[in-house]
Amino acid sequence: MIPTWRLRAAFARRLSALYGTEVPAYTTLLDVTGEVNDEVARRNPDAGRLGGLERVTAERHGAIRVGTPRELRQAAQVFAALGMRPVGFYDLRDATGSAVPVVSTAFRPVEPGELARNPFRVFTSLLTTADRRFFDAGLQARLEAFLSRRTLFPPELLTLAARAEREHGLAPEEAERFLTLAVAAFKLSPEPVDRAWYAELARVSAVAADIGGVTRTHVNHLTPRVLDIDALYRRMADRGVTMIDEIQGPPRWDGPDVLLRQTSFRALDELRRFREPDGSVTTGSLRVRFGEVEARGVALSRAGRARYDALCAETDRRLAEDGRAARQDVAREVWEAGFPREERLLATGELAFFTFRPAAARPRDGRRPPADLAGLLDHGWLTAHPIVYEDFLPRSAAGIFRSNLTGQGTRDAARTGTPYDEHRLSAILERPVHDPFEIYAAQQDAALRHALEALGADDARRALASRATAPRPSPPPRTEGAAP
Ligand code: OOG
Ligand code: NI
């Protein structure tokens, strides 16, 4: 039996090999990423704090885009076979000035042990065909008719996927067949693209054309993880690969690495065959697929995330005031004034998620451990270890989408958008969409409980347990519809 995690690791490896043959600059990106990671690991004894070199070297995220609820459900079935669950809801329709008519989730492992074995994740976007800001009724009907005629995932693949999910793995021959079919489902199709149809959709949105203008799906990008993204950025430029202008996410600074920093190289011309209006088949090119790279830091709690969002807003405000300033410089200034500079303060302030262990050098003079987390850390009872952020950032995702769009597309802001949230997405998927904060919090709470048990810190355990069960304030209602 090939267990789930081996299927996942093999799938990630094979998809990466396939993408390397399709987008050669991705191979350059992997080479440079490997160089930088080896150097950082040699020079910095703390390099493994957010994941060992073995995990980081194999680590990838992919991005795919599908057209219909049925296709999304089927993708979820394939990923379920790989132990990847939908986590988080991202609405990118309002997150950028360009037309990005999609809502998204990320499929990924959720258990710490599974993440440690292989953390492969796929950011998966669903085209919102009913959204009147982008598609009028006529175009929606033709788009949905086109999508209903195509098959992204063959029935044999879905049957094997369901079995792999049920049985937590597959026998070797079945595993081989499953992996072959699963990788093939994400390979760029040689089938000619209908030129007029693609162009009609591209006028509305380049993303809509990439999804609904072709008869198959494909990997949009595949992203390795790097331990020093600034060094990588410079080195890619030295190799002659043009990167987008910015690194998305938190600025470079000498405080703790938090959340996610990402950058990409621009989409490159790829040869495609086209069916022309007169029926002839010609060769042309499209630019949609690119390479992205990311650095990951500690996962932030809701409070930490609110702080992050406030710092982003403050950076925007200052940039709007001073049009000449560089975003990185302004952001660093804002961060230095507004974000804790030490990891310890993220733990004691409960701004980020950690696991805890009894400290080797804890007090042994008969004193009782204090009943609060800050006291336990500050007085040397516990040590904290950061939990890696495994998810995405809507603003960065929108930035990545936007930077690689050829045209702005069109969006009629006077119209109302179709409402989507994680509940609607769960209903479409027929699977729960997990809340990332709850996953991190559960891991932290379990680690803390164990550590306190080991310390015999019963007061602290009781105090923290009552806090954990206290009701959380409910989130503010999501506002939908006409964007400002
Ligand atoms: C997905 C963009 C989001 C990321 O890393 O934030 C993403 C896409 O372009 O389909 O992959
Ligand atoms: Ni990405």
% of residues, the chain, pLDDT over 90: 68
CATH 3.10.180.80 fits 2-297+390-434, yes or no: yes
* Residue identifier of the C-alpha nearest atom 2 of ligand 1: 397
Exposure of 415 in the CB half-sphere (CA atoms within 13 A): 14
Nearest atom within ligand 1 for CA of residue 292: 5
Residues 388-409, mean pLDDT to the nearest whole number: 82
* Residue identifier of the C-alpha nearest atom 1 of ligand 1: 63
Nearest atom within ligand 1 for CA of residue 393: 6
The C-alpha atoms of residue 293 and residue 249 are separated, in whole angstroms, by 12
Residues 285-305, mean pLDDT to the nearest whole number: 92
Nearest atom within ligand 1 for CA of residue 65: 10
CB of 122 closer than 6 angstroms to any ligand 1 atom: no
Contact 222, 64 (CB under 8 A): no
Residues 169-173, mean pLDDT to the nearest whole number: 98
Tell me the CA–centroid distance for residue 450 and ligand 2, in Å: 35
pLDDT digits (tens, 9 = 90+) for 265-278: 888 888 899 999 99
The whole-number pLDDT of residue 366 equals 78
Contact 272, 284 (CB under 8 A): yes
Contact 358, 455 (CB under 8 A): yes
* Residue identifier of the C-alpha nearest atom 11 of ligand 1: 63
Residues 107-121, mean pLDDT to the nearest whole number: 95
The C-alpha atoms of residue 460 and residue 414 are separated, in whole angstroms, by 54
CB of 420 closer than 6 angstroms to any ligand 1 atom: no
- Please tell me the total number of residues recorded for the chain in this structure: 484
Tell me the CA–centroid distance for residue 18 and ligand 1, in Å: 19
pLDDT at 31 over 90: yes
The whole-number pLDDT of residue 432 equals 97
CB of 125 closer than 6 angstroms to any ligand 1 atom: yes
pLDDT digits (tens, 9 = 90+) for 47-70: 888 988 888 988 999 999 999 999
Confidence of residue 407 (pLDDT cuts 50, 70, 90): low
The best mutation among 103, 221, 296 to test binding of ligand 1, ranked by most ligand atoms within 8 Å of the C-beta, falls on: 221
* Residue identifier of the C-alpha nearest atom 7 of ligand 1: 397
Higher model confidence: residue 478 or residue 23?
A: 23
pLDDT digits (tens, 9 = 90+) for 82-91: 999 999 999 9
Q: How far is CA 123 from the centre of its chain?
A: 5
CB of 126 closer than 6 angstroms to any ligand 1 atom: no
The best mutation among 400, 402, 403 to test binding of ligand 1, ranked by most ligand atoms within 8 Å of the C-beta, falls on: 400
The whole-number pLDDT of residue 476 equals 46
Confidence of residue 438 (pLDDT cuts 50, 70, 90): very high
The whole-number pLDDT of residue 479 equals 40
Nearest atom within ligand 1 for CA of residue 397: 6
CB of 262 closer than 6 angstroms to any ligand 1 atom: yes
Higher model confidence: residue 465 or residue 399?
A: 399
pLDDT digits (tens, 9 = 90+) for 323-355: 888 888 999 999 999 999 999 999 999 999 999
Residue 420 CA: distances (Å) to CA of 27, 98, 134, 416, 478: 37, 19, 15, 12, 9
Confidence of residue 96 (pLDDT cuts 50, 70, 90): low
pLDDT at 481 over 80: no
pLDDT digits (tens, 9 = 90+) for 219-256: 999 999 999 999 999 998 888 888 887 888 999 998 99
Whose atoms come closest to the Cα of 249: which ligand?
1
The C-alpha atoms of residue 450 and residue 209 are separated, in whole angstroms, by 51
Confidence of residue 477 (pLDDT cuts 50, 70, 90): very low
As a whole number, the mean pLDDT across the chain is: 90
Instruction: Please write down the HEC assignment for all residues of the chain.
Output: CEEHHHHHHHHHHHHHHHHHHHCHHHHHHHHHHHHHHHHHHHHCCCHHHHCCHHHHHHCEEEEEEECCHHHHHHHHHHHHHCCCEEEEEEECCCCCCCCCCEEEEEEECCCHHHHHHCCCEEEEEEECCCCCCCCCHHHHHHHHHHHHCCCCCCHHHHHHHHHHHHHCEECHHHHHHHHHHHHHCCCCCCCCEEHHHHHHHHHHCHHHHHHHCCCCCCCCEEEEECCCHHHHHHHHHHCCCCECCCCECCCCCCCCCECEEEEEECCCCEEEEEECCCCCEEEEEECCCCEEEEEECECECHHHHHHHHHHHHHHHHHHHHCCCCCHHHHHHHHHHHHCCCCHHHHHHCCCECEEEEECCCCCCCCCCCCCCHHHHHHCCCEEEEECECCCCCHHHHHHHHHHCCCCCCCCCCCCCCCCCCHHHHHHHHCCCCECHHHHHHHHHHHHHHHHHHHHCCHHHHHHHHHHHHCCCCCCCCCCCCCCC
Tell me the CA–centroid distance for residue 379 and ligand 1, in Å: 42
The whole-number pLDDT of residue 360 equals 83
- Name the residue with tokens 């022309």: 276
Higher model confidence: residue 236 or residue 81?
A: 81
Helix 422-429 vs helix 69-81: angle between axes, to the nearest 10 degrees?
80
Confidence of residue 406 (pLDDT cuts 50, 70, 90): low
Contact 189, 215 (CB under 8 A): yes
pLDDT at 187 over 80: yes
* Residue identifier of the C-alpha nearest atom 9 of ligand 1: 401
Tell me the CA–centroid distance for residue 244 and ligand 1, in Å: 14
Tell me the CA–centroid distance for residue 89 and ligand 2, in Å: 15
Tell me the CA–centroid distance for residue 283 and ligand 1, in Å: 28
> Where exactly are the structural domains of the chain?
2-297+390-434, 341-386+440-469
pLDDT at 185 over 80: yes
